Each structure stands twice: as C-alpha cells, then as structure tokens.
Chains A and B, each alone.
Chain A
Amino acid sequence: MIRKMVFTICCLLFLSACWDSNEIEDVGLIIGVGLDFGEDEKFSMTHQYVVPNNIQRSQGSQAAGKPFQNLTLEGESFFEIIRENSLETDRPPNFTHLKSLVLSEKLIEEESVRKLISFFLRDHEFRRTVAVFVTKEKVEDIMSVEPTKEIFPAVQIKELTQNNDKSLEILENTKFSELSSNISEDVSFVIPEIEINQNRIRLSGAAIISDQDFKLAGWLNREQVQGLKWLTNTVKGGLVSLTGQEEKHSEDHVVLEIITAGTEIHPKIESGKLKVEVSVNTTVRLGEDWNIERDVFKQGWDEKITKDAENHIKKSIQQVIEPAQNEYELDFLGLSKWVRIKEPAFYESHKKNWNETFKDVPISVDVKVDVDGYGTQDLQ
C-alpha cells in the first residue's frame, strides 16, 4: 500500500509539466505590441517592455528613465522577431499581461488581418482580451507617446475606450476574441483608430475591415462612428447636440444627455424581398440649454426638441448606412447577424453573396426620443 502511494506521489511529482519555475522579476513583461512594415517589406514589431525599476513609487527618488522600453525589431515572421528579442534582452518576453495591439494602416492595407493575428491567436500566452487598434501614424511613434495619466502608453491606449459611455464617438474595444469570431464567421467589422494629436494619443474614427480578404476597406470618421454605435445597439451614453439653426451658439442651441438607449433591428421578408426596419428608443435629459426663455413647466415644451433630436439621430444613422451600402458595399453594421437569427432561410440562401444582397436592402430608420427631465431649474 505504502509502496503504491510513494510510487503515485513520485509519478505526480516528476511526470508533470510546469516543472521549471521562473521568478517574476526575471520575466520581461510586455504590455503592448505594435505591428508595422519595416524596411525592405519586412515586418517590424514593436514590443513595449515594462522596466519595473524605473517606476516611481515613493516620493523623492527620481526615476532614472522611462518606465517602459520600446524594442522594435524586423523580421520575416512575428515568431522569429519575438525570438530575436532574446539577443537584446536578458529577460524572456512574457505576453500574459499584453494590453493592446496596434496595427498600422500600411500593414492592413497589404496583409490580411487573418494572417497577421494567426500567431497571436495560436499562442497560449496571448489573452483573448487584448484590445486591437489601427493607426495611420507610424506604430513606433504612437507607442512612444508619453502617456499623460497612465504609466505605460499601451495601457493608456487600451483605457481610452473606457469612456464609451460618455461619448457617442467612442467605440468599445475590439478584442482578440471578437476579431477571431468575426473572422471565422466571415463578416466585415471595424477596429477603432488612434492618432497622435498635439503629442497626445487620441481616439478618432474606425477602420473598416472587409470580409472578402480581411484587409482595410476604408475609414469611418467620428460622426459615422456615432451612427454605427446607434445601429449596433452599443450606445451607453453621450450627447445629442442640436444646433437648431445653421449658426452655432444660436439662441436655441440644446444639448441632450442620453440616459438610456436601445436599438432593435427587425428584418422582414416582403414578397421575397428583404426589408430591414431599425427602431431606436432613447431617453434623454436636457443637459445644456441656451434658450433661457424656455419654460419647462409649460405643457409641450419638449415637442420641438424631441422632433429635432429624432431627426438628428436618424440623420447620423443614415450617415453610416449610406457609405456601407453604396461606397464600400460591405455589411460591417452587423445586419447579417439579425437576418441570420430572424430570417434564417433567407440568410441561408443569400449567404454566399451577402454583400451583393446587402447593398440593395431598403433600411428604414425609426427613432423615438423621450425627453424625461430637465435637471434642476429655478422657478421664475
């Protein structure tokens, strides 16, 4: 009995993985990766290493240098570049704490995203929550922008999208997991874009990735991102600004704050033709009002605001439907998902050339705005 037990314990101890330990201070933690083209059509990969010693924790002691180190290396494949790191750092790179991955415009124009991230999806060290971004700048530059509030640029990039409940122009992070599911489902999608503005990192629009070859198809500007957010039911907050007349700061400039928002997409088949009805329901509150004459205690004070807001939102949604159907002819709006769920038979028969079908689908937008508050206001 005892002999059996000893044997079992020995097997458990010596026939198992994870034998070798690696102390945490001997590991090169990488928190950001940037992919770009280098010279001679070679890939270049920027690693953002944490340099723990340079992090200033207590007051007084001045840090010797930057708390991060960007290491840009070139090579034929990413795995090779990572291994090439070993020539320059004493600490083996560890990607378990990777926060963000930045792709350059040049790269996704020429290479399929599917190929680019295949290595990162295959390896176990990369977490599925890594946020992916696209930039028109040089990746190396954007990764070295001195962060303003965070310690590391990579963390700052990732955390920027945390404000997506404050502004309509901020998309949620595109994570590795979403990237891989979109790619395996063969649908077009968008990736948030970052840029350098006055030496600070800033979110701007988004890049459209085509489902044909998973390369860059075009760009969305910030206004179009708003429409996309309404369409994909990802609005969590933000502002609806009604300028009223053409000139700004006019008397009836009104800013509404979105409290709740919900979008439903109803695909319908009418005599063999697909028709999509988009209905948006949102509750807003009067946030800023330049018309001090407005009497909110009078019945019907919000009628005009409601109508204006409905038109505003409708316009912004159409702003993104229009290029999707006419310019790019790509369904990055996620309509295919709803058609697949609600009209599976139709989707099944049109799956092959969905983009062809999509570009001619009539999309009607119906917006319902409910102004349910005006904050605190003096009684006149």
Chain B
Amino acid sequence: MKIRRHSIKQQDSSKESKSIKERIMDDFHHSSDLHCKSFEVPDIEITILFIADITNRKTIQKLIIAPLLFLAQENEPITPFSLTGKLPVESMEVVKNYDKINTYLMDGFTIIIAKGETEVVYAIETCNFVKRKTNEPVNEPTISGPRDGFVESIQDNKSLIRMHLHSNDLVFERFAVGTEVKTYVELAYVKGKASEELITEARERIQSVKAEYLGDAGLLEQAIGKNKFSAFPELTNTQFPLKVTNALMEGKITILTDGSPTALIAPTTLNMLLQTPDDYYFKWIPASLTRILTYFAAIISFVLPAVYISLISFHHGLIPTDLAISLSKTREGVPFPSVIEAFLMELTIEILREAGIRLPKPIGSTVSIVGAIVIGETAVSAGIVSPMMVMVISFTAICSFTVPNYQLSLALRSIRFFLLFFAAILGIYGILIALFILSTHLVSLRSFNVPYMEPFAPIRFRQLKDSVIRLFFRLGKKDGKLHE
C-alpha cells in the first residue's frame, strides 16, 4: 500500500490534462474497492468517491446520494459552493489541498467533487472500519476489576478512557506518524497533573519517529524508547483502560496507537511493572501480602537456577547435610554437569513456552501435556536430568508467571540466563558480580527522565508506601490513588 504524493507543481501541471477524479483513480491504481459514482444535478456535475469496504454504504445512500438527487428535482439554482449545509450530515469539509483527498479517502471519508464553473471538493465522514467488541484483556486478567479491554480502533479506545475518566482536563493530542504511511497516534494526559516537561518530551519523541510504517504500539515503543541496550521495558504496556486512567491521574502520559489494542504508559518504573490493578481493589493488608509475594516471585524467577547451580557445584558446605546427601543421591548417574543440565532444562521450558504461545489453542494444551509428561517424567526416569533440577526449573517458570507485565517477565527471563552463565563459572561470587552489573544497569536506567528504580533508588520515602507493600491510602487526598 503505497501512496504517490504529489507536489503542488505536479498538481498544477496535471490539472490541465486530467480531472481530479481521474487523478485520484490513478493514485489508487484503479483499485477495485475505490468506488466512483457520477451524476448530474442541474448546472453542476457531481462525482462521489469512496472506498467501499471501509465506509458505510447505507449512510452514503441515505445522507449523501438521496439528498443530492432530491436537490436535483427542486430546481433551485445550485453552485458548487452552495452544497455546504444542504446535506444532513454533521460536518462537511471543503478540501483545499489535493494531497489531503487521499488521506480522507483512506480514513473512510466520502469525497464529493462538485464541478460547475469552479470545482469544489467536499469530504464527509462515513467511515465504518472492521471492529472488534471490547473484551477482557487476555494478558492481564483481573479478579474484581472492570472487564473491558482496549481494541484495535483508536476511537473506541479513547471512548473507553473517557468512560473511565470523566474529566475535562483529559486531553488527547493527535499525531500522524510514519514517513511512508501515516498511522494515527494519540497522546493523552491530564492537564494540570502531568508536568509540561513530560508532555513536551513525549511530543518531541513522537514527532521525531522516523519509521516507514508503524503497525503496532510495540514498534512505537521501541521507536520512542531511548534505552536501546536494555532488556527492560521503558514504557508500560497495557490493554487495560483502568490502568491507563490511574496512570493519567498520577500525572503520567499515555500513548495510543491506531490499530493496536495496547496503550503505552510513560514514565515507567520497575515498581510500576510489578503492580496489578487488583492491588488497589482489595484492602491493604491482603494487597500488601500479594505485593510482597509478587516481588519475591519476581526475584526467584531469575535468581533460583543460578543459586542452585552454584550451591551444588561450588558451595556444598552451604547446603544442610541431609539435603546435600539426598541431592547427591538424586544426581547420581546424571550424565551432564549440573550447568549443562540446567541449560538443557531451561531451554526446554522456553521452547515449550514459545510453542504454547504459537500453537492454536486446542493444540496448545497437547504441548503442555507432552511437555509435562515427556520432559518431567521420562527425562527423570531415564536419568538424563535429576528430579531436583526439574523441580527448580519448573518452580522458577511458575514464579515468572506471577510477574504481571509480560515485557518485564521477558526481561527477567533474559537475565536468568545471564546469571546462570556467571554462576556456572564462578558460583555465588559470579552471581554477586552479575547482580552488581544488573543493579548498576537498573539504577542508571531512566524512562522519560524518571529513574527506573524509583522509589528505591533514589529513595523516596513518601512513595515507598506504594511499592513492596501497599499501605492504605486516604481517599480524597492529593496523593491518593483514586480520582474521586
């Protein structure tokens, strides 16, 4: 799908030889879905152009063609300019720039070319794109929160945000991003909550994107992110409107992309990625315990295999005697060193996980059964891996499932291998080196000029009450989470 763009000069020169209609038809290479209908109203010739599959034909017939034919019978003198206000539509724009016609057509507008002594082009909104109903976001299940999730239509997504956030301070700014093909991107913020620097920064980053075509929010995320060499996500990725509105009320900005059900929230901190909306819907004591659990599981999900490896191949003295004896019994006869064994198992789990995602759902369950039986049972009884290793790796995998943000869990997966490598060479000492490198990296990361590790480093005591634990908030206070 390429658009030939015309310069003003071309436009002038070709104006003499071709009519506007023909030029449009040429620009679309006479594509079969570009419909064109011409008819005569007294004194002027009217041509209607629209792309059939993204417009509502009934609307076109009822609100455009029928009134025009009716006008023809009325014998009123019509000039091309007098059409405005004659049609029962909400808005009817006069297009003055030829280049815009193509954009309008692709957005689902109907173009009316009225030709009399002069030629006037009108655009009327009649779009009807394919739409999906909103349903629960698959990646972010919630227990008691609202069930609606973002869809592919940016209008619907904006409507969802407006529905959850009734505020006249909520501002949307529209950008068209892409050098070849334009994709609409909306920047949302709450005026007065989000700082001006943040908004300006976001604007600049969106405008400076130089991509041919942005198909999805994920591409935009990478295009506007600055930490190219980090595994950690710089923007929070969500399909959950309430998460967006909460973030907006906290003074963050949100970027919506047309055609993508994913909203991007910035700035992002590690703390934010480990929170779920459910944390706020329950009372603070169980919510805090859940938080602690999530943090704990997140840490286990990248540290455990490395610690296990270093304990059984370097620091035997650190294991309690009974455990050491039973470990050495279970490892008896395993052909690989524990490091190779761990890499093998990790690889298997990752492959199973990828296979589970890629396969269609009905077959996906087969994979998990085959994986569980073949890898878990048979490998152990065949003596290829030790049962303890299977336990460690699968517990790690389960822990990584508790991480609420998928991007973050991907990052932790990468770090797990990094740690495993260091542990394999140097034991606990290696793990410490790896953790030093990791923490140095995390502390130096910034997302839209906000430190990634906030509120831990730099420490912000006020915000700590909504980090590993979630203390009660006083509703109505400025620092409260809810917007009432």
A-side residues, CB < 8 A to B, are 9, 12-13, 16-19, 21-25, 27, 29, 31, 50, 52-53, 55, 57, 94, 96-97, 99, 125, 127, 155
A23 touches B313 (CB 8 A): yes
In the bound complex, what is the Cα–Cα distance between A25 and B312 (angstroms)? 9
In the bound complex, what is the Cα–Cα distance between A55 and B324 (angstroms)? 13
B329 touches A22 (CB 8 A): no
Q: Which residue of the partner chain A has the closest CB to B319?
A: A24
In the bound complex, what is the Cα–Cα distance between A94 and B334 (angstroms)? 20
Tally of chain B residues near chain A (CB < 8 A)? 27
When distances are taken between beta carbons in the complex, the residues of chain B under 8 Å from A21 are: 313-314, 337, 339, 424, 427
Of residues 312 to 347 in B, which have CB atoms within 8 Å of A's CB atoms? 312-314, 316-317, 319, 321, 324-329, 331-332, 334, 337-339
Shortest beta-carbon distance, B42 to chain A, in Å? Answer: 76
A24 touches B317 (CB 8 A): no
When distances are taken between beta carbons in the complex, the residues of chain A under 8 Å from B325 are: 29, 50, 52, 55, 97
In the bound complex, what is the Cα–Cα distance between A16 and B424 (angstroms)? 14
- Greatest chain B CB density within 10 A among A13, A97, A127 is at A97
A96 touches B317 (CB 8 A): yes
When distances are taken between beta carbons in the complex, the residues of chain A under 8 Å from B437 are: 9
Q: In this assembly, does B433 line the interface, its C-beta being within 8 Å of a C-beta of chain A? A: yes
B313 touches A16 (CB 8 A): no
Known A-B contacts A27-B328, A52-B325, A99-B321; the reply to A22 vs B313 at CB < 8 A is yes
9 nearest A-B pairs in the assembled complex, by CB-CB distance: A96-B317, A52-B329, A21-B313, A25-B331, A24-B312, A97-B321, A52-B328, A25-B328, A24-B328
28 contacts between A and B (CB under 8 A): A9-B433, A13-B425, A13-B433, A18-B314, A19-B425, A21-B313, A21-B339, A22-B314, A23-B337, A24-B316, A25-B327, A25-B328, A25-B332, A27-B316, A29-B321, A29-B324, A29-B325, A50-B328, A52-B326, A53-B332, A55-B325, A96-B317, A97-B316, A97-B317, A97-B325, A99-B321, A127-B317, A155-B321
Q: In this assembly, does B281 line the interface, its C-beta being within 8 Å of a C-beta of chain A? A: no
When distances are taken between beta carbons in the complex, the residues of chain A under 8 Å from B429 are: 16-18
Q: In this assembly, does B163 line the interface, its C-beta being within 8 Å of a C-beta of chain A? A: no
Write the B407-437 contact mask toward A (1 if CB under 8 angstroms, else 0). 0000000000000000011110110010001
Q: Which residue of the partner chain B has the closest CB to A50?
A: B325
Shortest beta-carbon distance, A5 to chain B, in Å? Answer: 9
In the bound complex, what is the Cα–Cα distance between A96 and B318 (angstroms)? 8
A24 touches B327 (CB 8 A): yes
A53 touches B329 (CB 8 A): yes
Q: Which residue of the partner chain B has the closest CB to A20?
A: B314
In the bound complex, what is the Cα–Cα distance between A23 and B437 (angstroms)? 27
In the bound complex, what is the Cα–Cα distance between A52 and B314 (angstroms)? 19
When distances are taken between beta carbons in the complex, the residues of chain B under 8 Å from A24 are: 312-313, 316, 319, 324, 327-328, 331, 338
In the bound complex, what is the Cα–Cα distance between A25 and B337 (angstroms)? 10
B314 touches A25 (CB 8 A): no
Shortest beta-carbon distance, B440 to chain A, in Å? Answer: 10
Known: A23-B312, A50-B325, A94-B317. 14 other contacts (CB 8 A): A16-B429, A18-B314, A18-B429, A19-B425, A21-B313, A21-B339, A22-B314, A22-B316, A23-B313, A24-B313, A24-B319, A24-B338, A27-B316, A96-B316
Interface of B (DSSP majority class): helix
B316 touches A18 (CB 8 A): no
Q: Which residue of the partner chain A has the closest CB to B320?
A: A97
B316 touches A94 (CB 8 A): yes
When distances are taken between beta carbons in the complex, the residues of chain A under 8 Å from B314 are: 18, 21-22
A25 touches B334 (CB 8 A): yes
In the bound complex, what is the Cα–Cα distance between A104 and B34 (angstroms)? 103
Of residues 266 to 321 in B, which have CB atoms within 8 Å of A's CB atoms? 312-314, 316-317, 319, 321
Shortest beta-carbon distance, A242 to chain B, in Å? Answer: 42
In the bound complex, what is the Cα–Cα distance between A31 and B313 (angstroms)? 19
A23 touches B324 (CB 8 A): no
Shortest beta-carbon distance, A283 to chain B, in Å? Answer: 36
Q: Which residue of the partner chain B has the closest CB to A53?
A: B332
In the bound complex, what is the Cα–Cα distance between A55 and B338 (angstroms)? 22
B316 touches A29 (CB 8 A): yes
When distances are taken between beta carbons in the complex, the residues of chain A under 8 Å from B338 are: 23-24
In the bound complex, what is the Cα–Cα distance between A24 and B329 (angstroms)? 9
Q: Which residue of the partner chain A has the closest CB to B428?
A: A18
Shortest beta-carbon distance, A207 to chain B, in Å? Answer: 26
In the bound complex, what is the Cα–Cα distance between A57 and B425 (angstroms)? 32
Q: Which residue of the partner chain A has the closest CB to B312?
A: A24
Q: Which residue of the partner chain B has the closest CB to A21?
A: B313
Q: Which residue of the partner chain B has the closest CB to A151?
A: B325
When distances are taken between beta carbons in the complex, the residues of chain B under 8 Å from A96 are: 316-317
Q: Which residue of the partner chain B has the closest CB to A23?
A: B313
Shortest beta-carbon distance, B313 to chain A, in Å? Answer: 4
B313 touches A13 (CB 8 A): no
When distances are taken between beta carbons in the complex, the residues of chain A under 8 Å from B316 are: 22, 24, 27, 29, 94, 96-97
Shortest beta-carbon distance, B81 to chain A, in Å? Answer: 66
Q: Which residue of the partner chain A has the closest CB to B329?
A: A52
In the bound complex, what is the Cα–Cα distance between A19 and B427 (angstroms)? 8
When distances are taken between beta carbons in the complex, the residues of chain A under 8 Å from B337 are: 21, 23
